[in-house]
Amino acid sequence: MTATGPASLPPEPDAGSDDGRELLCDQLAAVGLDVVRAGLVVGSGGNLSARLPGDDTCWVTAAGTWLDRLDRSSFVRVRIPDGTVVAGDRAPSSEVALHLATYRARPDVSAVVHLHPQTVLLLDALGERVRLVTTDHAFYVRRVGVVPYFPPGTTALATAAALAAADGTNCLVLSRHGCSVLADSVDLAHKRARNLEEAALLTYRALAAGRLSDLTDQPPPTVA
Ligand SMILES: [Zn+2]
């Protein structure tokens, strides 16, 4: 985690407004800038998507985009049931199947943030789970699911991640690869992703200090 706070986001889109989809893309672009600054992904790794609630299409980052250089032309509109590209003149992210399978499995989800957060991945490589240390971690992350390794971009990975999220888990570690963080809004998915990496960082610091066995999870929040 860096000292840089999250970028200020555009307002939540109004599902009934004509420019709701453009607002979604603007929100995702702001998230992309922040997560790169926060070190949650490097290079052209990671991909983002969002949909208006209940829509059967989503906007997903195009293949090869750098998350800190997104604008409205960086997104491709894809039909969720079958993956047909319905708007945008670029190919969708190579990880589009992960996004589509997640939306199909979770009608409540309106944003999917897939990143390669370094501390989350270091803990995974060391065989350690992420501990939820603070009340923010407990509130935003709630629980962390782990998806076994599958090659990036494959249907097998998308299917396994959707299965792991089907019970309502919103923060998934994709082993040796990254994370997939879900929410009913772009803003909440962003907060969850930042809190997941912060929880991992504190877990790693306890591990490095030889105190991991003393680190207990916060109890789950009693208020949703
Ligand atoms: Zn990835």
Would the pLDDT of 89 be above 90?
no
Model pTM?
A: 0.89
Tell me the CA–centroid distance for residue 25 and ligand 1, in Å.
19
| C-alpha closest to that of 99 among 157, 42, 26 | 157
- How far away, in angstroms, is 152 Cα from ligand 1 center? 6
Report how far ligand 1's centroid is from the alpha carbon of 36 (Å): 14
CA of 211 to the centre of ligand 1 (A): 31
Looking at residue 220, its pLDDT comes to 57
- Expressed in angstroms and rounded, the spacing between residue 46 Cα and the centre of ligand 1 is 5
pLDDT band at 7 (very low <50, low <70, confident <90, very high): low
HSE-CB at 175 with a 13 A cutoff on CA atoms is 13
* Contact status, residue 39 vs residue 2, Cβ threshold 8 Å: yes
CA atoms of 192 and 48, how far apart (whole Å): 14
CA–CA gap between residue 126 and residue 210 (Å, rounded): 14
Question: In the predicted model, what is the mean pLDDT of the chain?
Answer: 91
**In the structure, what pLDDT confidence band is assigned to residue 169 with cuts at 50, 70 and 90?**
very high
Rounded to the nearest angstrom, the distance between the alpha carbon of 178 and the centre of ligand 1 is: 6
pLDDT at 16: 44
Which residues have CB less than 5 Å away from ligand 1 (the ion)?
178
pLDDT at 20 over 70: yes
pLDDT tens column, 44-70: 899 999 999 989 999 999 999 999 999
Q: Which residue has the tokens 């991992």?
A: 200
Q: Is the predicted pLDDT of residue 204 greater than 80, yes or no?
A: yes
Q: Which residue has the tokens 């992420």?
A: 130
pLDDT tens-digit readout, 106-161: 999 999 999 999 999 999 999 999 999 999 999 999 999 999 999 999 999 999 99
- Confirm or reject CATH 3.40.50.2300 for domain 20-212, answering yes or no: no
Q: How far is the CA of 73 from the centre of ligand 1 (A)?
A: 21
pLDDT score of 10 more than 60: no
DSSP result, 73-95: GGEEEEETTT--EEE-SSPBPTT
